[in-house]
Structures are given as C-alpha cells and as structure tokens.
Structure 1
C-alpha cells in the first residue's frame, strides 16, 4: 500500500521514475471507491446491502471483479521491488511494519468498528455505540477491507528470503533467463496464468473466501501470485518493456476471455441453449477457471502496459494523489457503509443512491486526508511519512 519509491539513478534495471505505475496506482484505488459504492446495490452479500439492486451495475462489476484486486496486488508487489532499490532488507522490514502494521491496528480499533456497528444495527441490534464497542472485542473484530493491508504485510515479511534470493547474482541470472525466453516466444507469457488457474481449480472449492488470513488459502495464494508477479515484472525493465509492447494483444485476450467467462457462468449468452449444449460449451472453455485466469492476466498486464506506454509525466497533482491513496483506502469504506445505511429508507432508485454514495465517500475521504496530513501525530496512523522539518 505504501507508495512506490523512485529508483536510484543508474540502477541496473531502470533509471527513471515509472510515472505510469504511479498513476495506475492512483486510478486503481479510485476505482475501488466506485466498486465498493456499487457493492451495496448488487445481489452479492456485502457489509451492507440496499434492498434495491441493479442487474446492469452487477454485470459491469462482475467484469472488474475478476482483475481489480489482482491489479492492486501486482502494483503492491512492484512497489516492493522499487522500495528495495533504496533500502536494505532490514530497513524494508521496518518500513513495512511502520506503514502497514500501525495503520492496521489503528483501523481495527478506531475506523473499522463503526462498520461492524452498522452491521449489528441492520440485524436488529438496539445497542448504543458505547454499549456495542466492548461486545466487538468479545466476539472478535472484523478486518473488513483492511484485510488487504494485513495480507500485504504478511507477503512482504514472509517474502524477504525470496527477495534476497532474487537480488543475488544467481537470482538475477534466473530472471534474465526467464525474460529471454519470454522475448524469444512471447506466447509463453500466458503460462503466467497457470498458478492462478490451479488455485481456482484445487483450492477455491475447499477454502472459500474468509478474508481472515487463516483458512483463506485460495484467496491468500491468489493475491500472493500477483504480488510476486508485480515484484518480478518491476525487477527487470525488459519484462516491463515486453508487457508494454504486447499491451493490445493482452487486452484482446482479456476481453475475449471475459466473453468466455460470462458464457461459462451461464449468463444470457447461453440462455435458451439445451442443457447438453451449455455443458459442452462450458467444458470447451475449461469451466470458469481457464477463462478467468486468462481474463485476469490479460487485463492486469494490458492496463499496466497502456499506463507505461502513454503516461510519462509526474507533477504536483500526482505527488498529492499518491500521498492521498493510503488514507483514502483506510477510511473510505467506513464512510461508504455509513452513507449507504443512511439512505436505506429512501426510494430514489439505485443509480442516484450509487452516485451519492460514491460522491460522499470521495469528499469525506478527502476531508479526512486533508485533516490528517496536517497533524503530525495522526500521520503515522494513516500510513503517511513524517513531515520534514522546515
């Protein structure tokens, strides 16, 4: 989650700031606000659900659902690669604990309990917040959206031996060999989807998503795969260049697999088909896991490639937005849940409610960020660096 750091001048892999990745990080987390605002207005269970749903919104969100989190994990893994160019492993571990563990603990104690309280209220509880708060720790607090931060922290610390190995001469030679093979025969790039496909086939049926770190092995491994992929791609400039050159092809593969995915899960594409024909088509596209694996890889790498190809400028707006991303992430869902809860009695329709929830979440998160960034004691609680002495 902490922002990417500029590489050292003259670094063997890259000697310039990857502004495309910076902007991609900002846009990915901006999309998250829209996505979480929409989660209340689809049929999938979430922290809070409005009785009004939109099938059109659900169809759009289903597409983004397959690759939005892998993209964020990939960006986070790339951030580790950039961070290690400026820090020793010990400094890196300390930075991760400060920037991830402290905000996580703060969120569990302060910013997340209101979400759990609203859940209790929607299930008929009449407790006041003061009465509710001790009960939260009796039953165990829920990480809500901050599960992502906990997973990134674990990936970062557990991955230190791997990062060490890949930074060695043998590791550099191995990565160089991998990139050479990919450059010689680019279709090998799609084999990078195999680990995620295997997770879907063998782990998802046994371990459904819990977001609690333990007994969440399918989700844990899926995030880890894209986190490590981001680290590998950002560790070798030629890998980044290869993805950038093949961005259009990757996009077309992603969109084609999205079509197959919708068909495989029985959307309107196969409505009216005989049962045998639907089963045959599902087998032809490998059930759900083959198209989703390629859909995810294709879209994530395509978006990365287009960002690198077309975004080359930084500036004060990017610096400001990059700093705002983490505080926005920490506070945004609590605001979303509160706004959605306040609008439950209204019957103004899904789209107006969605627009209000998204707008209020953005404005509320921005106001919190503007307040936090000015207070030295609050900055570390929201993952911000210390203010430099003037």
Structure 2
C-alpha cells in the first residue's frame, strides 16, 4: 500500500468537504434554526438533509484516522505533533479570532452598532463555531501517536487478525456497527445534549470510533482491500439501513407507546446504521473506481482545508442579504450556492494559496520561498526543535 497517497481518500476528502459546503448553503432554507434563516422553508429539504448529515463528518474522521497512520509511517511522533500544531492549532486560533466573529455578528446584528465595535468582544469569546471539527482533530492527533504504537504491538496483532478474519465475510465489517451503537446509544443516555463540544463524551467518543477505525483498517491491506471486494454487500446494508432510517423518521407519533428515552435511543440506533453502512459503501466504491489522483485533485486537496475554514462565514455573510430578497426559495439557494462558491474559492486561490504567510496561517505548507524567507522559516522551526 502506498504510504504517501491513497487516491480514494483524496477524492472522498474533497467530495465530503464540498458536501459540507452544500449542506451549509441549504441550511437557511430547511427551517432548522441556523445562524440565518429564510422566511420560507422546505420540509422536504430538511427531510433529505437529515439523512446525509449522518455520515459526512464521520467519514471525514475515518479519513483523518487513516491519514494519521500514513503520516506516522513517514515521520517521527515528535514531527507528527509539530506538523499538527502548524496544520491544526494555528488555523484554529486564527479562525476563532478572525473568521468566526463575522458569523456571530450577523447572527446578533441587532445587538451591535457596527462590526468593528463588536469585534473585540466576539474575538475574545474564542468561539470555534463550525471549526469544532478542527478542535476534535487536535485532540484525536494526541491519541493517534500512542494508538499507532499500540497497533504495531503483539496484542494488537490479535485485533488485526480478528479484523482480517471478519473481513473475509461479505458483511463482516458491517457488523462492527454493534460497537458503534453501544457507544452512541449508551452514552446518549447519560449525556443527552446535542452540542458538538469535545467535552461531550456522547459526541467525542462517537467520532473517535470512526477515527480509530480509519487507523485500524488501513493498517491491514487485507482489511482495506476487502472493503472494495465487499462493496455490493455493504451497499445492500446501506439500502436496508436507509429504509429503516426513513421508516422510523416517518413513523407515526409513538409517544403514547414508548417513553421519550426509548424513542431517542431508536433514533440514534438507526442513525448509526446509516453512518456505518454509508462509510463502508463510500470507501468501497471509491477504491474500485477512483484509482488515480490527477494534478487538479492534488491542488484541490491542498486548498480544501482553507476552503473549509472560510466557507461558513462566507455563506452566512452573503446569505444574510440574499434571504431578504423578494425572490423564490429556489433562486435564493442557487444564488447563495454560486456566489459563496466563487467567493470562498477566490479567497483560497488569491489570498491564501500564493503567499507563504497566509499559507502558514491556514494550515498549508510554505511554497517555494526566497533564500532569506527560507532561512527565517528554518530558524523558527529550529527554535521549536523541528
């Protein structure tokens, strides 16, 4: 297995972040109480979006786990931590100080005289907002190092051997969903909140399961290749899981028959079925059909990270004006989609990509630099012990 680049992960990373972008573009129109909301909403849109939000981020955490293994195979643990510091921590700080405040200002625009009057207060809140995903990755990166060491130990060989035996069964890896259900449903009983903070075990351990699964699966070529081999079986499970999901979603009022806790547990159960079966299906079909990484995809993989950092703020700021226009919901959504995509892409290409300072602030490695800049950068890394 190529330790540097796995094409299916490249394709899925870009595709899933674009799916997150599309989700946020449509949020003002689904009646779900987002940062900005259109006066008219679509119940059908909400019914569709609730399905896809079950597996986009779990799949991204799985990819991040697999990527951590690929990186730890090439560099030391200390270099890995420094890499994550520049890749994750600095962009998170910059994002909380400068990218998130405009969103919070728009959401509470009536409380302030101007953005500049509000900025100090908003910036010092250090609100991660949509960047909570990066917070998780920072914490998970700390887990990745000891877990990577463990996965190479003799006790872990038993786990690896068990996974490989399970992977020979067409639906074997799907049945690992039982562990995911136990984590999600069990923890939701004691931590029922829906917040995405890292301190919420019901959320953090749920996503950690996908991250660890990515690390474990990519350790074995047998397991990894079996996902492609068994893609049709996993697709069938996804279809069955989707029918169960929407069967429960559209079920009549069960409050007279089941207590609230039981109804919530059933909801998290069907969500886990979709999340896990969709992950295996996506990975399997991506392996089979997306075997090469063209040059444009390499560039997209580089820019998709700052794209993620900027996208929601761009959507909220533009959307605040678009939703006030006297046109239909469909036209508003289309205008917001096109304008937000153009603006966010332009920021990444014109303001981040060409300049080493902005590249460093938003998690990209420096491009070719002058001798003096290169010396300064190397000195800075040397002071941190790199």
TM-score under structure 1 length normalisation: 0.87
Aligned counterparts of 1:35 and 1:165: Cα–Cα separation in 2: 37
**Aligned twin of 2:232:** 248
Q: CA RMSD in A?
A: 2.5
Structure 1 gaps, min length 5: 1-12
Residues 102-123 of structure 1: per-residue CA shift (max 9 Å, x gap): 00000011111100111111xx
Q: How do 1:107-118 and structure 2 match up within 5 A?
A: 107-118=95-106
Taking a change above 3 Å as real, the CA distance of residues 126 and 188 of structure 1, as seen in their structure-2 partners, is same
Q: How do 1:54-69 and structure 2 match up within 5 A?
A: 54-69=42-57
1:142 corresponds to 2:127 = yes
Residues 185-236 of structure 1: per-residue CA shift (max 9 Å, x gap): 343322321232123322224241223322x221111111111111111221
Match of 2:220 among 227, 236, 241: 236
Structure 2 gaps, min length 5: 371-386
Taking a change above 3 Å as real, the CA distance of residues 303 and 135 of structure 1, as seen in their structure-2 partners, is same
Aligned counterparts of 1:45 and 1:174: Cα–Cα separation in 2: 47
Taking a change above 3 Å as real, the CA distance of residues 15 and 192 of structure 1, as seen in their structure-2 partners, is same
Larger displacement relative to structure 2 (97-106 or 246-255): 246-255
1:379 corresponds to 2:359 = yes
Report the CA distance between 1:262 and its aligned residue: 1.7
Aligned counterparts of 2:163 and 2:254: Cα–Cα separation in 1: 46
Taking a change above 3 Å as real, the CA distance of residues 240 and 184 of structure 1, as seen in their structure-2 partners, is closer
1:199 corresponds to 2:183 = yes
1:354 corresponds to 2:333 = yes
**Aligned twin of 1:181:** 165
1:96 corresponds to 2:84 = yes
Match of 2:151 among 166, 170, 176: 166
Aligned counterparts of 2:104 and 2:162: Cα–Cα separation in 1: 46
Report the CA distance between 1:313 and its aligned residue: 1.6
Match of 1:131 among 114, 117, 121: 117
Q: How do 1:10-159 and structure 2 match up within 5 A?
A: 13-14=1-2, 17-121=5-109, 124-136=110-122, 140-159=125-144
Residues 247-268 of structure 1: per-residue CA shift (max 9 Å, x gap): 1211221122122112223x1x
SS at match of 2:40: coil
Count matched residues: 367
Report the CA distance between 1:59 and its aligned residue: 1.6
Taking a change above 3 Å as real, the CA distance of residues 83 and 243 of structure 1, as seen in their structure-2 partners, is same
Residues 109-149 of structure 1: per-residue CA shift (max 9 Å, x gap): 1111100111111xx324211211122256x2321110000
Report the CA distance between 1:14 and its aligned residue: 4.5
Residues 40-75 of structure 1: per-residue CA shift (max 9 Å, x gap): 111222222222211221121111011111111111
Taking a change above 3 Å as real, the CA distance of residues 298 and 274 of structure 1, as seen in their structure-2 partners, is closer
Residues 149-169 of structure 1: per-residue CA shift (max 9 Å, x gap): 010110111332112111335
Taking a change above 3 Å as real, the CA distance of residues 366 and 220 of structure 1, as seen in their structure-2 partners, is same
Aligned counterparts of 2:275 and 2:290: Cα–Cα separation in 1: 22
SS at match of 2:324: coil
Taking a change above 3 Å as real, the CA distance of residues 199 and 107 of structure 1, as seen in their structure-2 partners, is same
Q: Is the 8 A contact 1:33 1:361 kept in 2?
A: no
1:388 corresponds to 2:372 = no
